[in-house]
C-alpha cells in the first residue's frame, strides 16, 4: 500500500507516466481500495469496459489491462462504463481539485458546466489561452480534450436524470447539454453499452416529486461529517441556509435559474435532494455541492501529513477525515469574510441576514449587482465596511475580480488585497473557502491562536506561521482542526 500511495502522492500525471507505473496501478486495483477511485481508471480489453480501481469484479489479468487518467480518456479509447461499479460516478480526482495551474482550473470550470454554456472558445477565453493550446495541455495530462471531458460529464448527468426523474428522454438530452437527441442516443450507447431507455428502471412506490432529483455524492473515506455540519450550522445565514442535526439545506443561484439542495452525510456517500427550476443546472449544482463539502479531497493523504506533527497527531487520530467547508458562491463567501472581520460569528450572521430578502422560502444570496442596488441602511454596519463590500461587488460585477472556480488563485488574492478594507486575513479566508486553496493559513486569527495554545503550539502569529510550514500543502485543513480546538 505504501508504494500505491506513492503513486497517488504524485497524482495522475501524463498518460505516459501512468503507463510507466503500471505495476503500482495494478496493485492498487488488486487491493480494491476505494481511496484510489477517481485517481485513475482501469480498462479491460477482454470485456471492453472500464472500472474504478475498487470494482468488486475479479481482478483482470495484467495483459488485458490498460490504465487511463480520466473516464473521458477511457471512453475515447472505446471502452464502456462498468455497470457494476459505475466509474462515471466515482469521486473526482483530488489532483484537479487542489491544483492551481491551468489544467486544474480548466477541470473545475468544465465540472461547473462552462463548456456546455459557452463552448470550448468560452472556456479558453476564461483561462486566457488559445483553444489549440488548451486542448494540447488537457490531452497531455488527461488523455482527452475539453469536448471529450464535457461529453463524459454530460453522459453522467443524463444517467442521473434518466434514473431519478420522469422527464422524457428528449428533454433529458437537452437538459444534460447534448446538441441533439441523436448525439444523446449515440453517446449513451457508447458510454454505457445500452440505449437510454434501458437505463430507466421500473420504480416502486410514489412517483418522484416534480423537479426533485435524488442522488448520492460519493467521497473518499473517511469523512468526519460532524465537523462539517457543525461548522456550517454555526455560520448559516438565516433566509439562505438552515441546518438540523444531520441535514444542511440552502438556496442555490445557478446559471439557468435558482434551486435548493438538502445534503445529508451518510456512511459511504452524501444523500442529496436537489430541487431545480431548470434541470440544465444539474451538473453545476452537483459540482458546487461537492465543492461546498470538499468531497473530492484525499483525506488519507492530508491526515498523513498532519499526523507527522505530534501536536496534531491526537486530533487526526480522534477525528480522521476532517474537511475544509467551502462555498457554492465565492462572492457570497467574500462578503461573509468582510462582514466577519473583528466581530463574532453570531453577530456576522445577523448582519448578513439583513442583506437577504425576507420570505418563507430560502433565497439565494444577493448577486453583486443586487448588493450594489441596496440602500445604505440595509447594511447595518460601519460605513467603511459597507464601502468595502460595495467595492468588492463592483469589481466582481465588472469582471475586474474573478472569484469563480477557475480563477487564478494568486491573482485573485492579489486583486482582493487591492480593494480598500481587505487585508491578508480576509483574502486568505476567501482563498480557502471561496476559491478552494488547500494551503491557506490565518496565524493572526484569534480562534486559530486559541486552538494552537490548547495544543501546546506557539500562539504568537509569526512563530505559529513558521511552525505551520510543516503542514504544507494542507495548512487549510490544519486550520480547521485548530479552530475546533479553540
If one counts every other C-beta atom within 10 angstroms of the C-beta of residue 209, the result is 11
- 445 is annotated as an active-site residue: yes
Cell matching residue 389: 463590500
C-alpha Rg value of the chain to the nearest Å: 22
Cell matching residue 145: 480534450
E-only strand ranges, 193-295: 212-218, 241-243, 248-254, 257-266, 269-276
> Catalytic residue among 112, 281, 404, 445, which?
445
- Residue 32's nearest CA partner among 63, 68, 57, 62 is 57
**Distance of alpha carbon 169 from alpha carbon 429, whole angstroms:** 43
* CB proximity list for 372: less than 8 A, separation 6 or greater: 390, 393, 394, 397
CB 135 within 8 Å of CB 166: no
Alpha carbon separation from 436 to 83, 159, 180, 285 (Å, rounded): 32, 28, 35, 17
* CB proximity list for 344: less than 8 A, separation 6 or greater: none
**Distance of alpha carbon 118 from alpha carbon 418, whole angstroms:** 30
By CB atoms closer than 10 A (0-12, 13-18, 19+), residue 103 is middle
- 51 is annotated as an active-site residue: yes
**Distance of alpha carbon 343 from alpha carbon 265, whole angstroms:** 30
Q: What is the DSSP string of 200-211?
A: -----SSPPPTT
**Distance of alpha carbon 297 from alpha carbon 389, whole angstroms:** 31
If one counts every other C-beta atom within 10 angstroms of the C-beta of residue 138, the result is 24
Residue with cell 493523504: 301
> Catalytic residue among 21, 25, 33, 51, which?
51
- Residue 423's nearest CA partner among 438, 445, 402, 396 is 445
**Distance of alpha carbon 11 from alpha carbon 414, whole angstroms:** 28
**Distance of alpha carbon 182 from alpha carbon 407, whole angstroms:** 35
**Distance of alpha carbon 477 from alpha carbon 326, whole angstroms:** 11
Just list the catalytic residues. Answer: 51, 445
Amino acid at each position: 500500500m505504501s508504494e500505491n500511495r506513492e503513486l497517488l502522492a504524485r497524482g495522475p500525471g501524463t498518460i505516459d507516466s501512468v503507463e510507466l507505473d503500471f505495476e503500482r496501478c495494478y496493485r492498487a486495483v488488486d487491493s480494491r481500495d476505494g481511496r484510489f477511485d477517481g485517481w485513475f481508471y482501469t480498462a479491460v480489453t477482454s470485456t471492453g469496459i472500464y472500472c474504478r480501481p475498487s470494482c468488486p469484479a475479479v481482478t483482470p489479468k495484467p495483459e488485458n489491462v490498460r490504465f487511463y487518467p480520466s473516464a473521458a480518456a477511457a471512453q475515447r479509447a472505446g471502452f464502456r462504463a462498468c455497470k457494476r461499479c459505475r466509474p462515471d460516478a466515482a469521486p473526482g480526482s483530488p489532483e484537479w481539485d487542489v491544483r492551481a495551474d491551468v489544467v486544474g482550473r480548466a477541470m473545475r470550470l468544465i465540472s461547473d458546466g462552462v463548456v456546455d454554456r459557452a463552448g470550448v472558445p468560452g472556456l479558453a477565453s476564461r483561462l486566457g489561452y488559445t483553444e489549440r493550446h488548451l486542448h494540447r495541455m488537457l490531452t497531455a495530462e488527461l488523455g482527452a480534450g475539453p469536448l471529450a471531458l464535457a461529453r463524459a460529464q454530460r453522459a453522467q448527468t443524463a444517467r442521473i436524470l434518466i434514473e431519478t426523474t420522469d422527464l422524457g428522454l428528449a428533454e433529458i438530452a437537452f437538459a444534460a447539454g447534448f446538441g441533439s437527441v441523436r448525439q444523446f442516443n449515440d453517446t449513451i450507447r457508447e458510454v454505457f453499452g445500452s440505449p437510454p431507455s434501458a437505463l430507466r428502471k421500473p420504480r416502486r412506490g410514489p412517483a418522484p416529486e416534480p423537479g426533485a432529483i435524488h442522488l448520492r455524492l460519493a467521497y473518499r473515506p473517511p469523512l468526519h461529517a460532524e465537523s462539517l455540519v457543525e461548522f456550517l450550522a454555526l455560520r448559516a445565514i438565516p433566509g439562505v441556509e438552515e441546518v438540523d442535526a444531520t441535514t444542511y439545506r440552502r438556496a442555490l443561484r445557478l446559471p439557468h435559474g435558482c434551486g435548493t439542495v438538502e445534503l445529508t452525510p451518510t456512511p459511504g456517500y452524501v444523500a442529496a435532494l436537489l430541487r431545480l427550476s431548470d434541470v440544465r443546472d444539474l451538473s453545476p449544482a452537483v459540482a458546487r455541492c461537492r465543492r461546498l463539502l470538499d468531497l473530492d479531497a484525499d483525506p488519507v493523504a492530508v491526515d498523513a501529513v498532519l499526523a507527522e506533527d505530534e501536536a496534531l497527531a491526537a486530533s487526526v487520530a480522534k477525528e480522521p477525515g476532517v474537511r475544509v467547508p467551502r462555498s457554492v458562491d465565492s462572492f457570497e463567501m467574500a462578503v461573509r469574510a468582510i462582514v466577519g472581520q473583528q466581530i463574532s460569528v453570531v453577530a456576522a450572521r445577523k448582519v448578513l441576514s439583513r442583506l437577504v430578502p425576507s420570505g418563507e422560502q430560502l433565497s439565494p444570496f444577493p448577486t453583486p449587482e443586487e448588493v450594489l442596488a441596496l440602500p445604505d441602511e440595509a447594511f447595518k454596519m460601519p460605513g467603511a465596511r459597507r464601502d468595502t463590500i460595495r467595492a468588492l461587488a463592483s469589481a466582481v460585477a465588472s469582471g475586474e475580480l474573478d472569484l469563480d472556480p477557475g480563477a487564478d488563485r494568486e491573482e485573485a488574492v492579489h486583486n482582493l488585497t487591492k480593494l480598500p478594507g481587505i487585508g491578508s486575513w480576509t483574502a486568505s479566508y476567501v482563498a480557502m473557502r471561496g476559491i478552494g486553496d488547500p494551503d491557506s493559513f490565518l496565524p493572526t486569527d484569534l480562534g486559530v491562536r486559541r486552538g494552537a495554545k490548547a495544543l501546546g503550539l506557539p500562539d504568537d502569529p509569526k512563530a505559529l506561521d513558521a511552525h505551520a510550514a510543516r503542514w504544507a500543502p494542507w495548512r487549510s485543513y490544519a486550520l480547521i482542526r485548530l479552530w475546533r480546538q479553540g
